[in-house]
Amino acid sequence: MAKSLTLNTGAKIPVIGFGTGTALYGKDATQLVRLALDTGITHFDGAQMYNNEDTLGAGIKASGKPRGELFVTTKLNVLAPGESVKDSLKASLVKLGLEYVDLFLIHDPTKAKGDLAKWWVGMEEVYREGLAKAIGVSNFKVEDLNVVLESGTVVPAANQIEFHPYVWKAAEPLINLCKEQGIAIESYGGLSPIVRAPGGPLDPVIAAIRERLEETSGAPVSTGQVLTKWIFQKGAVAVTTSSKAERIQEFLAVENLPDLTSKEIDAIEEAGSKLHKRVFMRHVFGE
Ligand SMILES: NC(=O)c1ccc[n+]([C@@H]2O[C@H](COP(=O)([O-])OP(=O)(O)OC[C@H]3O[C@@H](n4cnc5c(N)ncnc54)[C@H](OP(=O)(O)O)[C@@H]3O)[C@@H](O)[C@H]2O)c1
């Protein structure tokens, strides 16, 4: 079972989450969710937008794992005219076959079209009623967070954002605000430097660290594990996904790898700062 971070609600969130978006977007996630559960994953990241909450729920149900051992997130997409946040979450819970989610996020602040403060009131309602054990946000920039922080009474528990060394520098003000406010960072797209933007200035740095970790630990280490270790050492949760049991085991094994040294962390961030490469968050990075 993966280690956990403590959210500002006091609840624990396992540091590795298995996502049912990106590679599984709009697809039946049942088998891969089962695979992930059987491999030791307990944290699942779903969303209304992924249009597969029912199959996330089916995978969970088929595993027979006790609900209390799992951490399940879903995300609010849009509200239909006259629909409340509570109506929307209740519809998700029916699809998931669950009585509550552990974390409910506003997926994308731009979808609220000026109604962010109003949406947050609805989020607070589902939190108070226990339909969501924690509430948070995703793809929020500083200005979006300030709307919620200034108008709301509950501080978001998490901000799930694109987070890897090629956006690290641009994301720093946002990360600092989250830290100040006790908002956990969940990283998605964390493997982008090797999966979506290979050949950049990070490659030789990550390769050298991978070799060093292999020598120190006496076991094979992958470049994906090096990036995931960096995410953990920045204090973030890593939301990733894979169709392969070996890769899921790799993610779970990251916490047992020796720590990156402060010199290695600096080298990753210095190399990362040489290339700004956003894959997902145009709204936040504004280019
Ligand atoms: N909130 C949001 O707006 C938002 C946006 C995007 C994603 N997310 C969440 O984050 C989850 C993970 O997102 P992500 O896909 O961006 O995560 P990621 O960790 O950056 O990438 C995972 C993908 O990389 C592939 N991969 C891993 N190692 C590889 C290697 N060495 N070579 C080639 N491919 C490799 C995996 O494929 P294999 O099957 O081959 O292992 C998998 O498809 C999503 O499912 C979703 O839940 C949220």
Domains observed in the chain: 4-190+231-243 (3.20.20.100)
Average pLDDT estimate for 261-278: 96
Are 158 and 134 in contact, with CB atoms under 8 Å apart? yes
Percent of the chain residues topping a pLDDT of 90: 95
According to the model, what pLDDT value does residue 282 have?
84
Cα-to-centroid distance, 192 and ligand 1 (Å): 8
Cα-to-centroid distance, 45 and ligand 1 (Å): 12
Instruction: Calculate the CA dihedral of residues 81, 20, 226, 202 and round it to 10 degrees.
Output: -60
Q: Which of 146, 81, 154 is nearest to 120 (CA)?
A: 154
Position in ligand 1 atom list of the atom nearest CA 138: 1
Among 31, 187, 240, say which to mutate for ligand 1: greatest number of ligand atoms within 8 Å of CB: 240
Instruction: Calculate the CA dihedral of residues 134, 178, 41, 133 and round it to 10 degrees.
Output: 0
- What does pLDDT average to over the chain? 96
According to the model, what pLDDT value does residue 39 have?
95
According to the model, what pLDDT value does residue 127 have?
98
Average pLDDT estimate for 172-187: 97
Q: In the numeric block, which tokens belong to residue 234?
A: 């920045």
Is residue 100 annotated as part of the catalytic site, yes or no?
no
According to the model, what pLDDT value does residue 285 have?
82
Is the per-residue pLDDT at 207 higher than 70? Answer: yes
> CA–CA separation, 59 vs 185, rounded Å?
26
pLDDT band at 190 (very low <50, low <70, confident <90, very high): very high
Is the per-residue pLDDT at 1 higher than 70? Answer: no
Average pLDDT estimate for 51-63: 97
Is the per-residue pLDDT at 168 higher than 70? Answer: yes
Is the per-residue pLDDT at 2 higher than 80? Answer: no
Q: Which of 192, 148, 198 is nearest to 171 (CA)?
A: 192
Is the per-residue pLDDT at 68 higher than 70? Answer: yes
pLDDT band at 211 (very low <50, low <70, confident <90, very high): very high
Is the per-residue pLDDT at 287 higher than 90? Answer: no
Residue 280 near ligand 1, beta carbon < 6 Å: yes
